[in-house]
Structure 1
């Protein structure tokens, strides 16, 4: 085991990514062959010093100093004028987990048509909306925040990361993995995101000294460091800072059932709390709140645009929801919270919901002045009413198919939502100030989210896709888990990627919980097409391809 690094030697070259790669390969070969180390031990065993920003950068920084800390050692010592949060952004966009979002379903099945949104394009849109919110609040609420500036880099990082842990096949994929993992700690997309960025991704960064690089590689094998992001970015990703499955007194007031982080990642939360960030179920950072509301806005507006383009709904469907759909929307927790006391009054609640949905495309149906005859109880009035209904329906379909109309209305809707966001400032801890959304806009967002879920995701056109995807992912989990629990060490874990397979061989007979978590890690990382291809290779006569497991 190498000793902790000491001070960098004079005139030593920084360990560039190319040199680090060579060093990592050498270390891996040496470990496997049990060769003796050729590295000279460092004289000083002290850990490397904390990173120090230039004095002018410190004077301009308004977020807590702990935001710039990284939980894994060693810290980078060469800043080069780039903020630590800009480094986070670069690490995210260059990561394999982020790239894989392009092959994961957002709403319409990935691969059906390239124009529909995937998890990747959705994340980019969330980042744009969140940045606009942050800029608007910085411009209008700077005085209330006492000079505190919302960090746009952190907001962008959190937005790009927020869906990183979601498995293939959208909501149905998350549901089936959670069912299979119920006895092994559960599965949840936000929890998986934290696991990816703190454990599963592999990143070392630029390290100045050879001994430090050797020390970092050895540490990364024993205790993975993921992307080694800053505490500020990790805090912004933690929408649910408590253990998954722990509600009530254990998690604290404000915990949401079915949300949280895995038990395996609780040390990350404890490390962030040890830095004095003060995270709790009632206190999320300002950047985290902005990312969350931007996600809701993007989901409510842009997913609606995809359903309009796919022909699943038309603007008229929002104006005239049936009773079953209204009941389903009214039952959603977010909608009930917005309705308040009205939630128990079915008639008044339904009226508010219809009003909220109608406002999205209200101007399309303001046609009363064009048809004064429809008010007349006569043959002409009856004919006029038929024409009015027919033309209204036809215009609704045409507007759904017209890209300019869709973009015009939905972009205006997003701008209204952004304008409806304000801040409730916390003078003592400005980074914990609360984001507030005007009640009418909040109700509209929640109603559109519920409409998309119940009218689109549960629609007949997508039910067959969801049934198939649940069956495929469920069978993949069962097959890989059974293989991971095999008694014969020659085939135990053989269906998993090489590094996971090595873990099974090294630890002997696997524990069920550990095996289940590794299987969930692997399956959740797959794109839709990879999951389909793997299932076909395991269950049909299709021959395997050379690169199926090469990663």
Structure 2
């Protein structure tokens, strides 16, 4: 089937990397397949989603979360293609493209969840190295770090449409007001300009808010799929872990009685009933279908429409379902994330990351020649050829790419006096 929704503008490749042969698979299928088989994607199996990975085998990790987001994304894509009169069999949103964007949406996320992201951002800013942001690191992996040959890295030659689907935010670090999150690295201006084509985003969109809310249809689908997945699944994991109980939910409901409308209060009652009957998994699972079926598509006009259909349409979320999604996220934050147990783990994770970063900076940035070989040879070689600012970025790439378990083992090798037998070193 020839899908006229996409043109050569959408399928153009960016950057250096392995060539793509177009004989048997579409460019978007190749983008998806390269993500699935990449080490960066596999490492997500041991990176924190809500609870530290490895605590129990049934909690979600970044990998299982990404797989769930991709499934919801494909379902949203199918629903819109079938239900919208704006689309048709030969003019439709590509499922493989949506799936690849969803699978890769957290590929640059560091260890220890958002707490780790905040710690890296602080350390990089303190050293004048341009901050750290999970979405920006996604882009850096795809464009710069996907393949390694010796001490040289290169990207995966992603398509324009795939890169654009990853751009939840288009503001550069230097233009970010708070520099806390929702920015790209300054060095990624070239990527943003490639994505936008002949009319650069920075010239057409005047404010930071406009830059960070102007998204392609695939990016909008991924964003909504991500919201659906973590709002529902964080609650589910919280219940399984014992953080969310009927008593705790009722207490939370009483504390927020004045701010909850009738529909929200009824929904909380239904959730408590499902928890009492031990049917909460089925109850939460049904919400996914309700969120998907309530999503529609509408046409819009903007400066990108002349180049691509990907900006011709807006994904419209039902207001009532959005309120329900936001309610679930608020409950998860206040009942799970804002607890001493989780904050203690985040504090410990931050402490570990700071100590590792400090040790590597001391050896490879502050000294003309390191006294100890703390980094793998290919990283040490890359650092030896880099300027000061780029050295911080390479160190950040190395640590942020580690799994939770690898971070902890490396920390123990460096700082734990009781760690170091032949078994520990393996």
Task: State the TM-score, normalized to the length of structure 2.
Answer: 0.87
Structure 1 equivalent of residue 142 of structure 2: 197
Q: Separation in 1 of the partners of 2:271 and 2:58? A: 27
Q: Separation in 1 of the partners of 2:219 and 2:170? A: 11
Q: Separation in 2 of the partners of 1:196 and 1:315? A: 42
Structure 2 equivalent of residue 501 of structure 1: 380
Shift of 1:65: 2.2
Structure 2 equivalent of residue 419 of structure 1: 293
What is the aligned length?
409
SS of 2:52's equivalent in the other structure is: coil
Shift of 1:242: 2.1
SS of 1:304's equivalent in the other structure is: helix
Name the CA shift for 1:265/1:357 in 2 (closer, same or farther; >3 Å): farther
Q: Is the contact between residue 110 and residue 118 of structure 1 (CA under 8 Å) also seen in structure 2?
A: yes
SS of 2:154's equivalent in the other structure is: coil
RMSD: 3.0
Q: Is the contact between residue 244 and residue 260 of structure 1 (CA under 8 Å) also seen in structure 2?
A: yes
Structure with more relative contact order (C-alpha pairs < 8 Å, separation 6 or more): 2
- What whole-Å deviation, never above 9, does each CA across 1:263-288 have from its counterpart, x for those lacking one? 12221111222366969624211000
Is 2:287 aligned against 1:287? no
Q: Is the contact between residue 173 and residue 179 of structure 2 (CA under 8 Å) also seen in structure 1?
A: no
Q: Separation in 2 of the partners of 1:104 and 1:451? A: 23
Shift of 1:118: 0.2
Shift of 1:524: 0.7
Q: Is the contact between residue 123 and residue 162 of structure 1 (CA under 8 Å) also seen in structure 2?
A: yes
Q: Is the contact between residue 3 and residue 90 of structure 2 (CA under 8 Å) also seen in structure 1?
A: no
Name the CA shift for 1:146/1:285 in 2 (closer, same or farther; >3 Å): farther
Is 2:182 aligned against 1:239? no
- What whole-Å deviation, never above 9, does each CA across 1:94-128 have from its counterpart, x for those lacking one? 10000000000100111000110000000000000
Structure 2 equivalent of residue 437 of structure 1: 317
Name the CA shift for 1:131/1:360 in 2 (closer, same or farther; >3 Å): farther
Is 2:340 aligned against 1:460? yes
The match for 2:5 among 62, 66, 71 is: 62
The match for 1:469 among 335, 349, 363 is: 349
- What whole-Å deviation, never above 9, does each CA across 1:153-197 have from its counterpart, x for those lacking one? 111001111111111111211111111112321111111110111
Name the CA shift for 1:363/1:95 in 2 (closer, same or farther; >3 Å): closer
Structure 2 equivalent of residue 9 of structure 1: none
Moved more, 483-492 or 115-124: 483-492
The match for 1:262 among 185, 191, 206 is: 185
Q: Is the contact between residue 69 and residue 230 of structure 1 (CA under 8 Å) also seen in structure 2?
A: yes
Shift of 1:407: 2.1
Higher-Rg structure is 1
Ranges in structure 2 where 5+ consecutive residues have no aligned partner: 206-210
Is 2:260 aligned against 1:351? yes
Is 2:23 aligned against 1:149? no
Structure 1 equivalent of residue 395 of structure 2: 519
Is 2:224 aligned against 1:301? no
Q: Is the contact between residue 318 and residue 358 of structure 1 (CA under 8 Å) also seen in structure 2?
A: no
The match for 1:184 among 106, 123, 129 is: 129
Q: Is the contact between residue 66 and residue 275 of structure 1 (CA under 8 Å) also seen in structure 2?
A: no
Residues 72-471 of structure 1 mapped to structure 2, 5 A cutoff: 72-73=15-16, 76=19, 78-143=21-86, 148-182=91-125, 183-202=128-147, 221=152, 224-247=153-176, 258-274=181-197, 281=211, 282-315=213-246, 317-321=248-252, 326=256, 347=258, 350-352=259-261, 355-356=263-264, 358-359=266-267, 362=270, 365=273, 396=275, 398-399=276-277, 402=278, 405-426=279-300, 429=305, 430-432=309-311, 433-471=313-351
Is 2:417 aligned against 1:543? no
Q: Separation in 2 of the partners of 1:544 and 1:244? A: 44
Shift of 1:142: 4.0
Task: State the TM-score, normalized to the length of structure 1.
Answer: 0.68
Ranges in structure 1 where 5+ consecutive residues have no aligned partner: 1-56, 204-216, 249-254, 327-345, 366-394
Q: Separation in 1 of the partners of 2:38 and 2:200? A: 27
Q: Separation in 2 of the partners of 1:543 and 1:139? A: 59
Q: Separation in 2 of the partners of 1:530 and 1:438? A: 42
Name the CA shift for 1:407/1:270 in 2 (closer, same or farther; >3 Å): same
- What whole-Å deviation, never above 9, does each CA across 1:193-246 have from its counterpart, x for those lacking one? 10111111117xxxxxxxxxxxxx89x94xx53121111111100100221352
Q: Is the contact between residue 142 and residue 149 of structure 1 (CA under 8 Å) also seen in structure 2?
A: no
Q: Separation in 1 of the partners of 2:370 and 2:318? A: 61
Q: Is the contact between residue 131 and residue 179 of structure 2 (CA under 8 Å) also seen in structure 1?
A: no
Q: Separation in 1 of the partners of 2:20 and 2:336? A: 50
